[in-house]
Amino acid sequence: MILDCCIVHYYCLATPEHAVPPRIPPSIRCHLPYLLARAYQRQQRLFEAHTRDFDITGRDYGLLLMLESNPGLWQSEIADLMGLDRTTVTYLVDSLQKRGWVAREPDPADRRAHVVTMTADGRTALESIRPAAAAAIDEVLAPLDETERDQLRALLTRLLGH
């Protein structure tokens, strides 16, 4: 991704007891960019930890979810929806197609475009992975009760300008 650089990355999975090392001063620890980066990092690592037995990345999983609710997306639509370059989507779809989870074929209505759909195997894989992904989300959100989760949802939605 263009901006893989980010504000600060502090989380260390190997030493959870040092998740908040004492030498990070409040001036950094309370900065929202730092908190956001840390939360994202934690989410990433927990997703990987919970889905280690499956041949899937979080991005793959996200695309399967997208295709579940939007069968027949063009690759260019996937690029728009996921904020990725067209070329990156080519590789992403390639990778899922190699596992037999998605299929692509030219759109009869516009043969420039390729329509991507989930296969039966893809649906099976999605169902087998869903519990692990849900467990990862549960662990990320464990410190928040339902009210707090709603507040966080609302704030992030506002932050994104929705």
Give residues 50-69 in contact with DNA (rule: CB under 7 A).
57, 59
Determine if 131 is a binding residue for a second copy (CB under 8 A).
no
Partner whose footprint covers residue 29, from a second copy, DNA, none (CB < 5 to 8 Å by kind)? a second copy
Q: Does 50 bind a second copy (CB under 8 A)?
A: no
Query: Which tokens sit at 115?
Result: 């329509």
The neighbouring-strand residues paired with 105 are 115
d(CA 153, CA 133): 18
> Does residue 120 bind a second copy (CB under 8 A)?
no
Q: Is 127 an interacting residue with respect to a second copy (CB under 8 A)?
A: no
Query: Residue 18's Cα: distance from chain center in Å?
Result: 25
Q: Are strands 102-107 and 73-74 parallel, antiparallel or unpaired?
A: unpaired
Q: How many CA atoms lie within 13 A of 129 on its CB side?
A: 24
Q: Pick one of DNA, a second copy, none as the site partner of residue 147 (Cβ within 5 to 8 A by kind).
A: none
Interface residue list for DNA (CB under 7 A): 1-2, 4-5, 9, 57, 59, 74-77, 79, 84-95, 104, 106, 110-114
